[in-house]
Amino acid sequence: MTDPSLNPEQLQALAAAGIAAPSIHNTQPWWFRTTADARTFQVYADRSRSLPVLDPDGRALHLSVGAALFNLRVAAHHLGREPSVRLLPDTTEPSLLAEFDLGQPATDPDLFGLDLYPAISQRHSSRQPFTNRDVPEAVLGELITAAYGEDAVLSPLEEAGVRRVMELTSEAERRTAADPARLAATRQWLRLDESAPDGIPQAALGPQDHEARVPMRSFTGHPPTAGGHSERFEALPQLATLSTRADEPVDWLRAGQALERVWLVATVHGVRVSVLHQALEWPDTRWKLRDPSEGPGHVQLVLRLGYGPPGPTTPRRAVEDVLKAADDQDSP
């Protein structure tokens, strides 16, 4: 019989997995709490870490928290618990985005198909050029299945789709570069101080594409400053869109979980990932990301997949700053 409550070390391990998730600009817009009986683990949005200019409706915030939630589910399963999640469980508490019970023993040892737990700490954004090696169809198939398992659709793009999405992303990147408020909102999360617990450190920034084809986000503006340089990128990147049927907060949480599930499966297979979110930040370019031939759907993310150097580790806030006890009055 499983002891329903996790001990403090197990709870810390759980939270550490949650905070290892990707988040927009490494804002880490989450905090966690266990209920007084230590049987329920709750996941909250930390809205003081939102990006009002870039993400006014909180969509990217929900995607980020959804990614953390997926890591929490993998870690709970690793600790022998059945992570059945309730999304947005309390309409009177909109910042409570999800909760799950810690008391149910895991029943399916093969819940995610692969052991994803080790990949949580191995996964990083890789903004470097990739090689021209194709991601095999079989691996793409596993990534599609991973997204499907979270009620989302991953669509690897053919050449014409890749060119269309790169053009829309470049257009969004150009507009952002001409918008001082958006540039400032991004620069605010650049970290030159290596001891900072959040934001994007200089070492994690990649080069720009020498031929200006692959529209990597310039976190420092255009022309890039702060060590910005250019390199030759892969001839035709493997891009994929991640979509959901509807476009409500609950769908954004699903898409965030799908993002992380896809990314962890990719990591197990040695496939690197970076996110191209720029076109999602303008309503018209976001709308045009949809492939009408694929039917109705709302694109939530664009991913670039391939083989290349791993990305560096980025900082995280300490577990004790994020995991609060039920009676803690200091919660954000």
Q: Give me the residues paired with residue 33 across strands.
A: 42, 324
- Cβ proximity to ligand FMN: between 249 and 311 the closer is 311
- Cβ proximity to ligand FMN: between 81 and 308 the closer is 308
Among 78, 81, 217, 304, binds ligand FMN (CB under 6 A): 217
Instruction: Kindly compute the dihedral angle of the four CA atoms of residues 13, 16, 18, 21, in this order, to the nearest 10 degrees.
Output: -140
Among 135, 157, 183, 275, binds ligand FMN (CB under 6 A): 275
- Cβ proximity to ligand FMN: between 297 and 311 the closer is 311
Nearest partner of 131 among 315, 313, 316, 305, judged by Cα? 305
- Cβ proximity to ligand FMN: between 43 and 67 the closer is 67
The answer to whether 170 contacts ligand FMN (rule: CB under 6 A) is: no
153 φ/ψ sector (left φ>0, alpha ψ -120 to 50, else beta): beta
- Cβ proximity to ligand FMN: between 19 and 135 the closer is 19
In the chain, what are the helix, strand and coil shares in percent, each to the nearest 5?
35, 15, 45
Among 50, 208, 267, 274, binds ligand FMN (CB under 6 A): 274
The answer to whether 298 contacts ligand FMN (rule: CB under 6 A) is: no
The residues in 105-134 that bind ligand FMN, with binding defined as CB under 6 A, are 124-125, 127
Angle at which helix 180-187 crosses helix 159-177, to 10 degrees, equals 100
DSSP state of 67: H
Give me the least distance between CB of 216 and ligand FMN, in Å please.
7
The answer to whether 63 contacts ligand FMN (rule: CB under 6 A) is: yes
- Cβ proximity to ligand FMN: between 81 and 286 the closer is 286
The answer to whether 25 contacts ligand FMN (rule: CB under 6 A) is: yes
Residue whose C-beta lies closest to ligand FMN: 22
Give me the least distance between CB of 238 and ligand FMN, in Å please.
16
The answer to whether 22 contacts ligand FMN (rule: CB under 6 A) is: yes
Among 279, 311, 322, 324, binds ligand FMN (CB under 6 A): 311
Nearest partner of 130 among 237, 209, 230, judged by Cα? 237
The answer to whether 278 contacts ligand FMN (rule: CB under 6 A) is: yes
The answer to whether 172 contacts ligand FMN (rule: CB under 6 A) is: no
Token code pair at residue 212: 């200006």
Q: How far is CA 329 from CA 33, 237, 324, 325, in A?
A: 12, 48, 9, 9
Give me the least distance between CB of 197 and ligand FMN, in Å please.
12
Tell me the C-alpha distance between 129 and 136, whole Å. Answer: 18
Q: Give me the residues paired with residue 273 across strands.
A: 125, 305
CB 171 within 8 A of CB 310: no
Tell me the C-alpha distance between 330 and 141, whole Å. Answer: 45
The answer to whether 208 contacts ligand FMN (rule: CB under 6 A) is: no
Candidate segments 80-88, 132-140, 238-246, 276-284, binder of ligand FMN by CB under 6 A? 276-284
Q: Which parts of the chain fold into alpha helices (H)?
A: 8-19, 59-78, 117-122, 137-148, 159-177, 180-187, 249-268, 283-288, 319-322
CB burial of residue 310 (10 Å; 0-12, 13-18, 19+): middle
The residues in 67-106 that bind ligand FMN, with binding defined as CB under 6 A, are 67
CB 243 within 8 A of CB 298: yes
Token code pair at residue 171: 């257009």
Q: Count residues contacting ligand FMN (CB under 6 A)?
A: 21
Give me the least distance between CB of 105 and ligand FMN, in Å please.
31
Among 10, 50, 64, 128, binds ligand FMN (CB under 6 A): 64
Q: Which residues contact ligand FMN by CB under 6 A?
A: 22-26, 60, 63-64, 67, 124-125, 127, 200, 217, 274-278, 311, 314
